[in-house]
Amino acid sequence: MRRFEEKTVLVTGSTTGIGEATVREFAAEGAQVMITGRNAERGKKVLADIKAQGGNADFLQADIKDSSACDKLVEETVKRFGRLDILVNNAGVLYTATVPDTTDEQWYDTMSVNVAGLFFMSRAAIRQMRKQGGGIIVNVASESGLNGEPALGAYCASKGAVVQLTKCMALDHVRENIRVNAVCPGETHTQMIADWLASQGGDLDKLIRDLAKGLPINRLAEPREVARCVMFLASDDASYCVGTNMSCDGGNAATGGPYPL
């Protein structure tokens, strides 16, 4: 029996990047997965690939800034697969700007997706998980939720909120058999990091090489490596992990300062 056989997993922001890797990995381990995001073309491509490999999956287009869309996502997942065992709150956006250079739109978009969207999804999922007698939530926070970073004020604030929400939801619901934890990834090879680096100007490959040199592990994470941490927290192996914000950052959090020293 594969590790997630008969489990239903909903992953927000699974049309690309870490979320896409996460649905692919869960499906490969037997889970029935609900793929979601705003981009239907990319979502349907991920769906077709998973199905072609014998996986059980579906796609629903949704913008998680809308609380009723989040309720519907959970409702439709239950209609399609019978229950919701695992919610992975992965969708996120990042804008690079210091506070005086951040526009109202950037601030509200960051907070609406990274915090409110995660809140709406969790609320809908917890209501469903209570009816079922339990469930698991894994949030994709960030190392930016644990430490400050230059020109990432809105993003860091939003991820700090995710770190705190993780702890609060974990405490509120552990006695209802609902376990909540978070992964805090470091720099991971996705479009988000490419866009962030591009905003600094210059050759992207060189920027990636330079970024890697500053990381203890000397390379960026691949999305699959973050997905595997999410899966650990979603598995029975993590049965005693409650409210943890687990770093998956190639050693960044361990440095406590600039690296190399």
Ligand X SMILES: NC(=O)c1ccc[n+]([C@@H]2O[C@H](COP(=O)([O-])OP(=O)(O)OC[C@H]3O[C@@H](n4cnc5c(N)ncnc54)[C@H](OP(=O)(O)O)[C@@H]3O)[C@@H](O)[C@H]2O)c1
The residues carrying an active-site annotation are: 155
The single residue among 27, 110, 187, 234 that binds ligand X, judged by CB under 6 A, is: 187
- Binding span for ligand X by CB under 6 A among 48-56, 63-71, 207-215, 233-241: 63-71
Assess contact for 11 and 35: CB atoms under 8 A.
yes
Asked if residue 53 binds ligand X (CB under 6 A), the reply is no
Give dist(CA 146, CA 245) in Å, integer. 9
Query: If binding means CB under 6 A, how many residues of this protein chain bind ligand X?
Result: 29
Asked if residue 93 binds ligand X (CB under 6 A), the reply is yes
Checking DSSP bridges between strand 86-89 and strand 56-61, what pairing results, if any? Answer: unpaired
x/- contact string, 191-230, with ligand X (CB under 6 A)? xxx-------------------------------------
For ligand X, the binding residues in 108-127 under the rule CB under 6 A are 113
Closest separation in Å from C-beta 176 to ligand X: 25
Q: Which residues of 140-152 are buried (b: 16+ CB within 10 A; e: fewer)?
A: bbbbbbbeeeebb
Choice between 115 and 126, CB closer to ligand X: 115
The single residue among 125, 140, 169, 178 that binds ligand X, judged by CB under 6 A, is: 140
Closest separation in Å from C-beta 163 to ligand X: 12
For the beta sheet containing 56-61, the strands, ordered from the edge strand earlier in sequence to the opposite edge, are 56-61, 32-37, 8-11, 86-89, 135-140, 178-185, 245-248
The single residue among 16, 110, 128, 244 that binds ligand X, judged by CB under 6 A, is: 16
- Binding span for ligand X by CB under 6 A among 10-18, 167-175, 206-214, 238-246: 10-18
Asked if residue 137 binds ligand X (CB under 6 A), the reply is no
Give dist(CA 1, CA 16) in Å, integer. 28
Choice between 190 and 244, CB closer to ligand X: 190
What is the 3-state composition of the chain as percent helix, strand, coil, each rounded to the nearest 5?
Answer: 50, 15, 30
Give dist(CA 48, CA 23) in Å, integer. 12
Assess contact for 86 and 133: CB atoms under 8 A.
no
- Terminal-to-terminal C-alpha distance of the chain: 47
- Binding span for ligand X by CB under 6 A among 44-52, 167-175, 189-197, 204-212: 189-197
- Binding span for ligand X by CB under 6 A among 33-41, 166-174, 237-245, 253-261: 33-41
Assess contact for 97 and 140: CB atoms under 8 A.
no
Assess contact for 155 and 110: CB atoms under 8 A.
yes
Instruction: Write out the residues near ligand X by the rule CB under 6 A.
Output: 12-13, 15-19, 37-39, 42, 63-65, 90-94, 113, 140, 142, 185, 187-188, 190-193
